[in-house]
Amino acid sequence: MVKVVKFGGSSLADAKQFQKVAEIVRSDESRVYVVPSAPGKRFDADIKVTDLLYECYELASSGKNFYEPFLAVKDRYNEIIQGLGLNFSLKDAFDEIENNLLHSPEKDYTASRGEFLNGLIMSNYLGYDFIDAADVIFFDEAGNFDASKTNEILSNELSNHEHAVIPGFYGRSFDDKIKTFSRGGSDITGSIVAAACRAVVYENWTDVSGLLMADPHIVSSPTVIKNITYKELRELSYMGASVMHEDAIFPVKKVGIPINIRNTNNPEDPGTWIVENTARRSKYTITGISGRRNFCSIIIAKDLMHSQPDFYRKVVQCFEEKNITLEHLLSGIDTMTVIVHESKFIENEQEILSRISKLVQPESLEVESGISLIAVVGRGMKSQAGTASKIFKALADARINIRMIDQGASELNIIVGVLNEDFERAIRSIYHIFVDAGDK
């Protein structure tokens, strides 16, 4: 039985955190492959090593002196090494990075060194082999992750190592350079490694005890979600909930490996299980609530629009021409409502509106901004009558006006639109009616 364990930056921010990590790894002999991030923040005002490295690159590439952030990086690692009492030096690795910065600074290479150096320390501390991610993780010519090449080479390499540390966040590009994933990408590496060795679980260790049912900045001490399906997680993260890199679920999802989100600072907590399917019911009808602010609705009215088969296509085309994705499309008998995010719409607003006028000659065209969308997500909603009415009751009791409602055919979520100023109150009242008010 093989488990892949990935530790985030806050789990590896200093020597004390490294000790907790080692204890976690050693407490279960199936935790054989370890994927570290770079050292994260030790306190609120601290700077992540990856950010320091990006700063080194920015300075070096514009010919400026990069020694201040570079020394800060070296100090962070040296402190960890000393704190762990290791007889080990990163001097050669530091020299190589400095050399690169001085002579031919490369952005992805520089940023990736955060994970690379942490991986070297971790492998020394645990006594595990070190596998350089640049030798086993590949990107294709278009810059996308090359799953088939990686899988073949990585699974073969892993089979030669009983225990190994594989740094997160980077791999090798088509033209033989170091290339990183987007920020937070060590989560993706962990998932790739888990898929390649067909792990029984991908454990993602962070600084919270799992995914919460709602944003803790809005709802005080929300409940931890024990079990969630990949699909539910997609819905919640698309609408703003975040615990992992969005792309991290795909490699493991493809081969049916569950993800377990765990807390390095509270290893006894069971955390959240993210799975393909589950017969486990959650204690509540809903799994979670998330939301985003600042959407616009564009309401297009025209009598008998239904008799024009090309009406929808023409409207959609106006947004497509500006490369704007539609968040929601709602239809009434003589109206069509398009919901888009303000950030993308407003700068092209007049052009899009006049294009719609020209293409479909509406009787009226109304635009409203300042709308928040709230997704109430739950696999349990399908089998439970009255979920929608409960949401509406919660909002009505709080005197919040609903601007739109959208329930997907899968009945996995119900989306409601409210005004931005009602956003937080709406989330709290929905949470309250399902969780605090004793929904079982």
To ligand ASP, the closest distance from the beta carbon of 121 in angstroms equals 15
Least distance to ligand ASP from the beta carbon of 158, Å?
A: 20
CB of 53 to ligand ASP, least distance (A): 9
Q: How far is CA 52 from CA 61, 69, 98, 99, 116, in A?
A: 14, 6, 13, 17, 15
Nearer to ligand ASP, 39 or 362 (CB): 39
Q: String of b and e for 85-121 (b: at least 16 CB within 10 Å)?
A: eeeeebeeebeebbebbeeebbbbbbbbbbbbbbbbb
Strand partners, 259: 202, 274
**Shortest Cβ distance from residue 111 to ligand ASP (Å)?**
7
Where do contacts with ligand ASP occur on this chain (CB under 6 A)? 9, 37-38, 48, 50, 114, 168-169, 183-187
Whichever of 251 and 291 has its CB closer to ligand ASP, that residue is 251
Residue nearest to ligand ASP according to CB distances in the complex: 186
The minimum distance between CB 189 and ligand ASP, in angstroms, equals 8
Q: Specify the length of the chain in residues.
A: 440
CB closer to ligand ASP out of 50 and 229: 50
The full DSSP string for 174-217 is TTS-EEE-STTTHHHHHHHHHHHTT-SEEEEEESSSS-BSS-TT
State the minimum distance, in angstroms, from the CB of residue 327 to ligand ASP. Answer: 27
For ligand ASP, the closer of residues 139 and 169 by Cβ is 169
17 CB contacts (<8 Å, ≥6 apart)?
Answer: 10, 11, 264
Residue 243 or 375 having the CB closest to ligand ASP: 243
Residue closer to ligand ASP (CB basis): 187 or 215: 187
Q: At what angle do helices 423-431 and 387-397 cross, to 10 degrees?
A: 130
Q: Who's near 329: CB < 8 A, 6+ residues apart? A: 312, 316, 336, 337, 338, 339
- Pick the closest to residue 146 from 172, 120, 111, 176 (CA basis): 172
The least distance separating ligand ASP from the CB of residue 294, rounded to whole angstroms, comes to 25
Give Cβ neighbours of residue 433 (< 8 Å, ≥ 6 apart).
390, 391, 393, 394, 439
CB of 406 to ligand ASP, least distance (A): 33
For tokens 């589950």, what's the residue?
278
Nearer to ligand ASP, 168 or 210 (CB): 168
Check: CB of residue 323 under 8 Å from CB of residue 362: no
Closest by alpha carbon to 205, among 44, 28, 79?
Answer: 28
**Nearer CB in complex with ligand ASP: 48/403:** 48
Q: Report which residue type is found at 174.
A: F
Distance of closest approach, residue 297 Cβ to ligand ASP, in angstroms: 34
- Name which of 113 and 428 has its Cβ closer to ligand ASP: 113
